[in-house]
Amino acid sequence: LAKTTQPISMDSYEGQEVNITCSHNNIATNDYITWYQQFPSQGPRFIIQGYKTKVTNEVASLFIPADRKSSTLSLPRVSLSDTAVYYCLVGDSGNTGKLIFGQGTTLQVKP
Amino acid sequence: DTAVSQTPKYLVTQMGNDKSIKCEQNLGHDTMYWYKQDSKKFLKIMFSYNNKELIINETVPNRFSPKSPDKAHLNLHINSLELGDSAVYFCASSQAAASAAYEQYFGPGTRLTVT
């Protein structure tokens, strides 16, 4: 089974860049790596996804090395409203169709 | 317009009772999911349906039974509730079969408290 590891928590200050890394072994070779954001009392929502190398959208960047055993979510110049829990999501190896969320990283942005 | 809705939002009940949580999506998606989020924020998939057919059935007690009357609805029925069932249950949907490639849209969650 795929196994994911994320830091449990991180602190940052407004205006800083934040990088959250998810380690993931035994992931599906043909599936994407996706990141979600969750605010308190809400369901997770999609932030970004990628297969390899670097992907950038209006809110974040995602870096995936060639071996795809990890991925790093980068949030540029965070604000207080970026305080949330961030999850990586991967597909399990063996193309079982199983999806595995990381444990979640609670990001606390301070003024 | 709410894309994925769940009812009820809060559910407080006693051990041994049977309860249901309903989920509806108006996105026209083929795949729907149930997740359980515990007090440590771990999100674990329980079930996934594609076009009313069960495609993922994780190791959950058989007291949990999903039902999909049509592809826009996926309900979760729980028999003989136990204290350990207390959690937040999320319904989600995606365009196609279970894959991290397809963006999932989550409902607001149902906070179940078993006393």
pLDDT at residue A1 greater than cutoff 80: no
pLDDT at residue B97 greater than cutoff 90: no
The pLDDT tens digits of the residues spanning A4-17 come to 999 999 999 999 99
pLDDT at residue B48 greater than cutoff 80: yes
- Separation of alpha carbons A64 and A103, rounded Å: 19
Q: How many CB atoms lie within 10 A of CB B18?
A: 11
- Contact across the interface for A97 and B98, Cβ inside 8 Å: yes
According to the model, what pLDDT value does residue B33 have? 94
Banded model confidence at residue B57, pLDDT cuts 50, 70, 90: confident
* Strands A61-64 and A53-56, bridge-based pairing: antiparallel
Of residues B20, B33, B45, B42, the one with CA closest to residue B112: B20
For A74-88, what is the mean pLDDT?
97
- Contact across the interface for B41 and A45, Cβ inside 8 Å: no
The pLDDT tens digits of the residues spanning B66-87 come to 999 999 999 999 999 999 999 9
According to the model, what pLDDT value does residue B1 have? 66
According to the model, what pLDDT value does residue A95 have? 61
Structure tokens at B51: 């076009």
Q: Out of A31, A42, A106, name the one closest to residue B100 (CB).
A: A31
Long-range contacts of B12-17 (CB under 8 A, 24+ apart): B12/B113, B12/B115, B13/B81, B13/B112, B13/B113, B13/B114, B13/B115, B14/B81, B14/B114, B14/B115, B15/B81, B15/B82, B15/B83, B15/B114, B15/B115, B16/B80, B16/B81, B17/B80, B17/B81
pLDDT at residue A93 greater than cutoff 80: no
Structure tokens at A23: 């380690």
According to the model, what pLDDT value does residue B101 have? 84
Percent of chain B with pLDDT strictly greater than 90: 76
Segment 31-90 of chain A within 8 Å of chain B by CB:
31-34, 36, 38, 41-46, 49, 85, 87, 89-90
- Separation of alpha carbons B90 and A13, rounded Å: 31
- Separation of alpha carbons A56 and A36, rounded Å: 15
According to the model, what pLDDT value does residue A8 have? 95
Q: What is the DSSP letter of A92?
A: B
- Separation of alpha carbons A21 and B47, rounded Å: 27
Of residues A9, A22, A2, A5, the one with CA closest to residue A71: A22
Size of chain B, expressed as the number of residues it contains: 115
According to the model, what pLDDT value does residue B109 have? 97
Cβ burial, residue A18 (10 Å; 0-12/13-18/19+): buried
The pLDDT tens digits of the residues spanning A24-64 come to 988 888 889 999 999 999 999 999 999 998 999 999 999 99
According to the model, what pLDDT value does residue B96 have? 85
Percent of chain B with pLDDT strictly greater than 70: 98
Q: Out of B43, B48, B101, name the one closest to residue A32 (CB).
A: B101
Tally the C-alpha atoms within 13 A of residue B55's C-alpha that lie toward its C-beta: 19
Average pLDDT, chain A: 93
Residue type present at position B77: H
Percent of chain A with pLDDT strictly greater than 90: 79
Interface of B with A (CB under 8 A): 4, 40-45, 48, 55-56, 58, 90, 92, 97-101, 103-109
According to the model, what pLDDT value does residue A92 have? 82
